[in-house]
Structure 1
Amino acid sequence: MTNTVLHIDASPRTEQSVTRELSAEILRQLNADTVIRRDLVEPLPAIDATWIGANFTPDADRSDDQKAILALSDELLAELEQADTIVIGAPMYNFSISTSLKTWIDLIARAGRSFRYTEAGPEGLMTGKRAIVAIATGGTPIEADYDYLTGYLKFILGFIGITDVTVIGADQVMAGLEEKMASAKTQIEALAA
């Protein structure tokens, strides 16, 4: 059985990034057959009125321009669909997710593709997948009342059908980076158990 991992790094820092280091360590631990890499250091285009218009136009009625507008979103969704496991490096900025990760979410959370509406409410379509999220914070404890990153990521992943979510935390690194990294790496080693 092959294991395909979608590896997403959302830190704008390419050097000395805690989440990049942790997500790379998670990837080594998983020993995936195939890795799809999506580095969000290069900003994705934010959705706008033109994108929304294209998205809400039925597939059969989309113009070539509308198809081109949705091409990146379609590519991101294809990456997500191929993956068995999603590894996300998610630094906390101002108590929440980075702009680049929010934009990625906006581009993949599409009715009819990653979720659908039913009489019973929304239903995620990305089922059978696992997510491992490496979170780093400067001073905020993970799961604190003012941590708007962890709960949001668990919710939005669950919304699209990914309910098996493991959080690897290196929180409050400003109070002791080495100790926090050692704890996070112990959590990563436990993934194989």
Structure 2
Amino acid sequence: MNILQVNSSARAFANGAGSFSTRLANELVQRLRDAEPQATLTLRDLNLAPHPALDESTLQALFTPAEARTPEQAARVALDDALIAEIQAADVVVLGVPTYNFGVSSQLKHWIDAIARARVTFQYTEKGPEGLLKNKTVYAVLTRGGVHRDQPSDTVVPYLKTMLGFLGMTDVRFIYAEGLAMGPEAEARAVADAQAQIAQLVHDTETV
């Protein structure tokens, strides 16, 4: 089993402090590796190594034939190629997903923009779009200051379901840690509840 972990918090994570999404994603990955000792891990931390945004120069590079690209264009496309290769090789994807202003972080959005490439990770057919990143399990660890699960204010889950499904990743499992900004007791409950969800998901995976 090849695991790809993508941390997308803007907050650093050191000595167990900082980002809740990274902390809980780490715990999930550790449980998966305990259950599958031969599993390999690729870690992509978008805070430590931010990925550039999709801008006009990037689009020009992507739409220029490879043999005609300038060295600068080739280098820019190579950054996206590396992310695509990582997710193509993954069997399991663990996403640390903090909620910022009712959406995903810009770090995660840049990663999604990078891996969504026509004729590589998706294609259009006579029957409509087809995702090419198939046969993967995605765990999305969602952390929120408030409580938004199953509410109109939760735009993150629909977006991830739509975007990941478009790319062929339809087995998406969500872990919720909500109320993290609602006081120490609420924070402790949120973390404990997320840890229980993680334990149950890994247990369910082992017994399938």
TM-score range, shorter chain: over 0.9
Matched residue, 1:139: 146
Residues 69-99 of structure 1: CA deviation (Å, up to 9, x unaligned) = 2000000000001100000000000010001
If the length of structure 1 is used for normalisation, what is the TM-score? 0.93
Mean CA deviation greater in 79-88 or 114-123: 114-123
Aligned 1:111-130 pairs, distance under 5 A: 111-130=118-137
The CA deviation string for residues 92-140 of structure 1, in whole angstroms up to 9 with x for no partner, is: 0001000100011111111011101111111100000010000000013
Establish whether residue 39 from structure 1 lines up as the match of residue 45 from structure 2.
yes
Match of 2:74 among 63, 67, 75: 67
| 1:151 matched to 2:158 | yes
RMSD of aligned residue pairs (Cα, Å): 1.5
1:83-102 correspondence runs (5 A):
83-102=90-109
Figure out how many residues of one structure are paired with residues of the other and give that number: 191
- Mark the runs of 5 or more structure 1 residues left unpaired by the alignment: none
Give the unaligned 5+ runs of structure 2.
none
Tell me, in whole angstroms, the C-alpha distance in 1 between the residues paired with 2:136 and 2:171: 7
Q: Identify the match of residue 79 of structure 1 among 82, 86, 92.
A: 86
Pick one of 25, 28, 31 that aligns with 1:26: 28
**Partner residue in 1 for 2:3:** 5
Task: Tell me how far apart the structure 1 counterparts of residues 172 and 76 of structure 2 sit (CA, whole Å).
Answer: 31
Cα distance in structure 1, aligned partners of 2:18 and 2:75: 36
**Would you say 1:180 and 2:190 are equivalent positions?**
yes
Residue 143 of structure 1, CA deviation: 2.9
Judge which range, 161-170 or 35-44, deviates more. 35-44
Give me the whole-angstrom Cα distance separating, in 2, the residues matched to 1:58 and 1:125.
22
The answer to whether the 8 A contact 1:143-1:151 is kept is no
What percentage of residue pairs aligned between the two structures are identical? 40
